[in-house]
Structure 1
Amino acid sequence: MSPTPHRSVVNALTIDVEDYFQVSAFAPYIRRDEWPTRECRVERNVHLILDMLDRHDTRATFFTLGWLSDRYPALVHEIARRGHEVASHGHGHERVSDLTPEGFRQDLMRAKASLEDAAGQAVLGYRAPSFSIGQDNLWALDVLLQTGHRYSSSIYPIAHDHYGMPDAPRFAYAARQGLIEVPPTTLHLAGRNLPSSGGGFFRLFPYALSRWMIRQVNEREGQAAVFYFHPWEVDPEQPRVAGADPKSKFRHYLNLSRMQPRLERLLADFRWGRMDQIFLPTAETQVQHA
């Protein structure tokens, strides 16, 4: 029998609410003006996730696109009604690295207005699409602060071909006065940071390895983990994107049928909660200062 996980630490469960046709890897194959014509499966998948969280008496943070909130306000309202935090994933799933400061501000404000209208609650958190805040565009943190956000989860301290800032702090820190950065979880091993926070890595790695990495962060370092996944990852029947390159297809479709059972195990093995409730109330005493 495997050892019982460390359950005194409450980890942050986060869902990046976007549909399969909006992921960055498929951007070369699906134009934005095609989005309204695609079969949208986000309602089905989010309701599946909400029901799963109810079964485990778990609350989470849903980083949601304003584009989806505009079209499915009742879905965003339902997320909030069930006790979850509604946070921002931007409006149009544009990488921050592709935007000017003013363009980023407009994207943030448009998303914030839509999400707050639908959820009936203030939007305090933000996660950049594809973790696209890094060394070259740290000005984005100032814009987040100016637009009323209190925390970000956008700087991934790993080396990756699409994103990452390997030298960034691994745990929550004051990125600006009044703004906390809460990175996705990594495990420092053999001189490098290993991704330990979900997404495609969770589908790629054996569950036992993901479980072990989170336990190390909880037990050895005494820190809360930040885990993320997407609604399309619990949908093995989603339409296939024609013409996508093999690498993108591998990353997107790998082990989709195994995702929900693995999530059920994860929810049972660890304690989970909302980002705002874990990191904001005691921010002054818990965060490191960069």
Structure 2
Amino acid sequence: MLNALSVDVEDWFQVGAFERTIDRADWDGLTHRVEANTDAVLQLFDDAGVKATFFTLGWVAERYPALMRRIVSAGHELASHGYDHARVFTFTPDQFRADLRKSRTILEDASGQRVTGYRAPSFSIDTRTPWAHMILAEEGYRYSSSVAPIRHDHYGWPDSPRFAWKPVKDASLIELPVTTAKLGSRTLAAGGGGFFRLLPYGFSRWAIRQVNGQEARPAIIYFHPWEIDPDQPRVSGAPLRSRLRHYSNLSVMAAKLRRLTRDFAWTRVDALADAEAARAS
């Protein structure tokens, strides 16, 4: 079973946990670590023989176009993560369309490749944004991986289907939710990120095996380049809960990822979207 591995390319100061602590106007004056961290991820994937999808902020691509070219030249997919990590439900429909167009133009100009995939910052397509999938379809995106079908204090659409679905009638757009697992009647977050970093590796292995084996579906896993960087700056003014989530287990993340690449087979998210489209036809 081929699963999809993805990277949400953003710097340590651009995460949702710090959005009320660090002003966007201050981003350029902070220490940027995203290029070096993403290069380390590229090396990890090259060592493992893995191809993946890099959902990248337009803000990052604007400043590091050579990094975008290194991503695509290594055989990975470059996809959009919006411009500056603003959550979709903070936009009007017109503002969302403008953000999509701005970030896509930057990514395509930097990489020389067409961008057809999108992931909303903080999985922020949910019941508050009933127009978002239609706009993605109108803008020509092949797929979105923007929904977390769970309950969470920061995001979630618990009533969404857990696996690939078509959110717009008579459109080819496919939504590929991030992976969840079932424990009795409970739906558990198992798609990577902080859950992968904070919980024992055995939980993720169990969840992926459940999805692959019992449900015969591929898993979609994600993480961030800053999660393999234990030496990143500390944000002392952030809430304690945010700091615990952000900084815990950074030193073990790279080793867990290497183990993940050995234990399962991986591909890009666009390849999974193609397979799901064929499955639905």
Fold conserved between structures, TM > 0.5: yes
What is the Cα deviation at residue 240 of structure 1?
A: 0.6
Question: In 1, Cα distance between the equivalents of 2:73 and 2:57?
Answer: 18
Aligned to 1:10: 2
Question: In 2, Cα distance between the equivalents of 1:148 and 1:44?
Answer: 32
Percentage of matched positions with identical amino acids: 53
Aligned to 1:263: 257
Aligned partners of 2:144 and 2:175 also within 8 Å: yes
Q: How many residues are matched?
A: 279
Letter in 2 for 1:40: H
What is the Cα deviation at residue 155 of structure 1?
A: 1.0
Please identify runs of 4+ aligned residues in structure 1 that moved more than 4 A.
none
What is the Cα deviation at residue 48 of structure 1?
A: 0.4
- Work out which of the residue numbers 196, 211, 220 in structure 2 matches 1:217: 211
- Work out which of the residue numbers 186, 189, 197 in structure 1 matches 2:183: 189
Q: How does 1:10-159 map to 2 (within 5 A)?
A: 10-159=2-151
Question: In 2, Cα distance between the equivalents of 1:279 and 1:91?
Answer: 23
Letter in 1 for 2:142: R
Question: In 2, Cα distance between the equivalents of 1:76 and 1:223?
Answer: 30
Letter in 1 for 2:21: Y
Letter in 2 for 1:163: Y
Question: In 2, Cα distance between the equivalents of 1:35 and 1:162?
Answer: 22
Query: Does the alignment pair 1:232 with 2:197?
Result: no
Query: Does the alignment pair 1:180 with 2:180?
Result: no
Letter in 2 for 1:41: R
Q: Secondary structure at the match of 2:35?
A: helix
Unaligned runs of 5+ in 2: none
Q: Secondary structure at the match of 2:167?
A: strand
Structure 1 residues 281, 78: closer, same or farther in 2, change over 3 A? same
Aligned partners of 2:164 and 2:276 also within 8 Å: no
TM-score, normalised on structure 2? Answer: 0.97
Question: In 1, Cα distance between the equivalents of 2:212 and 2:148?
Answer: 18
TM-score, normalised on structure 1? Answer: 0.94
Letter in 1 for 2:99: D
Q: Secondary structure at the match of 1:20?
A: coil
Question: In 1, Cα distance between the equivalents of 2:130 and 2:53?
Answer: 24
Letter in 2 for 1:97: F
Aligned partners of 2:118 and 2:144 also within 8 Å: yes
What is the Cα deviation at residue 282 of structure 1?
A: 4.8
